[in-house]
Amino acid sequence: MTEITHHLPDWLVRSYATGSLGHAFSLVVAAHVSQCDECRARLEAEELAGGLVLDDLKGMAPSDDLRRRVFDGLDDDDVIVAEQPARAGIYPGAVVEAMGADSPRWRALGGGIKQAILSEDKEGSARLLYIPPGMAVPDHTHGGLELTLVLQGSFSDETGRFGVGDVEVANDDLDHTPIAGMEDVCICLAATDAPLKFKGLLPRLLQPIFRI
Amino acid sequence: MLRDATINFDTTGTPPIAAGQAFAGKIMDDRKSAKPTPEAACEQTDWLVAVRDKRDKLAFARLYDHFSPRLKGMLVRSGMTQAAAEDVVQDVMLTIWRKAHLYDETRARASAWIYRIARNRQIDVIRRRPRPVPDELIAEAETRETREADAAIGLEQEAAQLREAIEALPEAQREIIERAYVGELTQAEIREATGLALGTIKSRIRLALEKLRHELRDLREE
């Protein structure tokens, strides 16, 4: 396991634990925690706090019917508990689930860069990015918050170097140019709560087509 | 990499958020009359262990009686109808029964593990798609036995201290924390609020994870 140096901010871990985080960001949290014991411990600490609140909660009496349904279900082999798929190569189970396959369906964006959109809803979008060694991801600013988790290789930008398992949290203020490390193709999981905006004219024209 | 043991959620200096104060519900009303001692709180963990190790239906019934009203209350407060909440409680209780083998008392109290299962299921249902969850780090029964028996007790002591810390908070701040974990606050509200120091608990769980990793590695090498 490589050393992870860029972790999730506390509020993201807490938002995930309490269920208030949208799908795209939840995907990044789940994928990061899958490979980071430090953040797994932080998430489980949050859940311990959630359990304390649950323990002290004033409850609502369940119906008698619920009790019957639960106890009838104990010996019912037809009751299936859904399982998230297992990790596949560099992709944590949550990403495999979102891909609906063991590998991404890449679409070329030009310059050897590819992407695979995993989810899009009104709260944001998540996609995988494939960046050949030494290539720059087009310079872009953000309308909201962007989380980028490295799954393979690395990238560097004005704020530092990000290796496998590292997550970059970029907000409105950050105007950055990530460049993939030379050692390998860089594959990232990127999630944002707003459409990305490119600075140059050409990328802006491409934006509606490529949904970057 | 093990970071400094005290990642702090400390909020000294963080202003309380207005949103949390206006219509905060009281959820800990009965706490003073029936304050659970650490030993009593440990009961639920014992029941869950009995379900896991002995498929004990009486212990499961106790878990049901303890958690199903609380889960239903939490789910209704976070916006579900009573009928939808009961459907989720049903799924949660059956998941507890079927996935008990994954429960690791050195890392999670019963209420923490059940809290997670409830959130997972609730979000599956609300969003009509599976909630992304971290890959399981599975504790095999044989490694669990070799781990220190007092790890779960240590976790229980930390939990008791955290409970005291929550109770010592000013009313308004406590309500915000309760509302956050019940699921009534938005992501933006949580980003502004915070308010709980979880550093020592995190360190203890971190240690349990390290031991688990270590023992899983030993198992593979055997």
Phi, psi of B79 (to 5 degrees): 110, 5
Q: Which residue of A has its CA nearest to B201?
A: A45
Q: Which of B7, B44, B69 sits opposite A42 (nearest CB)?
A: B7
List all residues 6 or more positions away from A100 whose beta carbon is below 8 Å from its beta carbon: none
CB neighbour list of residue B12: distance below 8 Å, 6 or more residues apart: none
Is the per-residue pLDDT at A131 higher than 90? yes
Minimum mean pLDDT among A76-90, B139-153, B200-214: which range?
B139-153
Q: Show residues of chain B in contact with A65, CB under 8 Å.
A: 86
Q: Report domain extents, chain A.
A: 1-59+92-212
Q: How does the average pLDDT of chain B come out, rounded? A: 80
Average pLDDT score over residue span A151-175: 90
Answer yes or no: do B190 and A18 touch at CB < 8 A.
yes
For residue range A68-78, list pLDDT tens digits in order: 999 999 988 77
Among A37, A43, A98, beta carbon nearest to B132 = A98
- In this model, does residue B135 exceed pLDDT 60? yes
Return the pLDDT at B30: 41
Q: Buried (b) or exposed (e) across B180-202, using 16+ Cβ within 10 A? A: bbbbbbebebbbbbbbbbbbebb
Distance from CA of A15 to the nearest CA of B (A): 6
The residue-averaged pLDDT of A152-181 equals: 89
Q: What is the pLDDT of residues A13-22, one digit of tens each?
A: 999 999 999 9
- pLDDT at residue B36, rounded to an integer: 46
| Cβ under 8 Å to A: B residues 116-145 | 116, 118-119, 122-124, 127, 129-135, 137
The per-residue pLDDT for range A40-89, each reduced to its tens digit, is: 999 999 999 999 999 999 999 999 999 999 999 998 877 677 788 999 99
Identify which of B92, B136, B87, B94 has the alpha carbon closest to the alpha carbon of residue B117: B92
Mutate to test the interface with A, among B181, B209, B213 (most CBs of A within 10 A): B181
* Chain A contact present for B40, CB below 8 A: no
Residue A76 has a pLDDT of 82
Measure A33 CA to nearest chain B CA, in Å.
6
CATH of the domain spanning A1-59+92-212, picked from 3.90.1150.10, 2.60.120.10, 3.40.50.620, 3.30.70.2970: 2.60.120.10
Listed by start position, the domains of chain B span 37-132+147-221
What residue of A is the nearest CA neighbor of B131? A23
Fold of domain B37-132+147-221: Rna Polymerase Sigma Factor; Chain: A (1.10.1740)
CB B222 within 8 A of CB B153: no
